[in-house]
A and B are shown apart, each in its own frame.
Chain A
Amino acid sequence: MAGNLSSLVIDTLCDEPCEEEIAIAMFYCDFRDKEEQTTINVMGAILKQLLVRGEVLEHVQKAFQKAKKEVGGRGLRLPDMVQMLKQAVATLPKVFICIDALDECLPKHLLELLGSIKDILGESPRMRVFVTGRPQVEAEIIRVFTTCVTIPISPKAHDIKRYLEKKLEMDTEQYAMSDRLRADILRVIPERISEMCVGVSIVPGSYMILY
């Protein structure tokens, strides 16, 4: 859901006609990359997507050239990265940042990442941030973003039915299916999931146990 929701939101932002120019940056957290998903790397990945105007690119190019000349390497520090992002966002009309699956960050990176975003938001009133994650990161997010609006995601019968229909269409063992079984699947599973609501895991293919 989270990934799907984020992609849906990004596409919606892209597709909705709007009066103003907008820039969109996204990041999908992945627990398999958790060690590499440091705050500075995630922020850098976001900044890469905001290099859309000459002045933004030029500023980053200058910082890069300066860093190259410095003794001891060219590593970026987080304050430098945050500063570059602030400048980029200030240069752009309206910026949307979407970060998916925040729970897939290591806890030590998560708080720092949230703090850095808050820092940028403090100087960028036109920036909007959309984040998704499992409930266990809600407390941290609300603590950092006190005015954060939260929406719980729970199974919607319509969405479950749509998903089941698609899975049934793609079933490679159609010989095992009958109209009655199909109707039962489409009736019973959405009902049960809606009743149970939280804590249910519908693993793709799990309806096969009904055969």
Chain B
Amino acid sequence: MDPTAYPDSISFGNSNANCSNVTNSHNKVINVNNFIADENPEIMKWLSPLDPGGRHQDVRTDRLDGVGNWLLETNEFQEWRRSEGGAGGPVLFCYGDPGVGKTYLR
């Protein structure tokens, strides 16, 4: 299916526009900060011309609170989140048609 047929359902834009990553102040998430990226521009370019992160900020800004929380409550997600090399496997795949999800959550 041609994704361009759903221009309103997908607002990707320059989706990976910068290197500002997820940051968090109250738990143990470790992620790259802009300092590392700024100090090593040649290496960043060498690794990939695609820059992750900006899209995340765009989407989370538009996200409606409470929408999609059902996923987080599923056993599948909880097991994936907690397990380590368990029976559930390391990969969780969520799939849906255009129109059943992407659009109405935008």
Contacts and interface: CB of A to CB of B under 8 A. Distances in A.
Interface string A41-59: 1111111111111000100
A190 B2 CA distance: 26
A131 B95 CA distance: 8
Given A1-B103, A57-B40, A201-B98, 9 more contacts: A9-B72, A14-B27, A128-B90, A138-B93, A142-B93, A147-B89, A153-B96, A159-B67, A200-B100
Interface in B33-87: 36-37, 40, 42-44, 46-53, 55-56, 59-60, 62-64, 66-72, 74, 76-77, 79-81, 84-85, 87
Interface of A: 1-28, 30-33, 36-37, 40-53, 57, 60-61, 64, 67, 74, 76, 81, 92-94, 100-101, 103-104, 117, 121, 125-138, 141-142, 145, 147-156, 158-160, 162-163, 166, 193, 197-205
A28 B103 contact: no
Q: Interface residue tally of chain B, by bracket?
A: 35 or more
Contacts of A127: 90
A55 to B, nearest CB: 13
A79 to B, nearest CB: 15
A66 B51 CA distance: 23
25 contacts: A1-B104, A4-B59, A6-B56, A8-B63, A16-B27, A18-B28, A21-B29, A33-B16, A37-B50, A41-B48, A45-B52, A81-B47, A92-B30, A104-B3, A104-B12, A126-B84, A129-B90, A130-B94, A134-B1, A151-B92, A151-B94, A155-B101, A158-B70, A202-B103, A204-B9
A160 B70 CA distance: 13
- Pairs of residues from A and B, 3 with the lowest C-beta to C-beta distance, nearest first: A1-B101, A44-B48, A201-B99
A148 B93 contact: yes
Contact of B106 (A4, A10, A30, A193): A4
B96 A135 contact: yes
Contacts of B22: 10-11, 14, 24, 26
Contacts of A155: 100-101, 104
B23 to A, nearest CB: 8
Contact of B31 (A23, A40, A160): A23
Interface in B1-29: 1, 3-4, 6, 8-12, 15-16, 19, 21-22, 24, 26-29
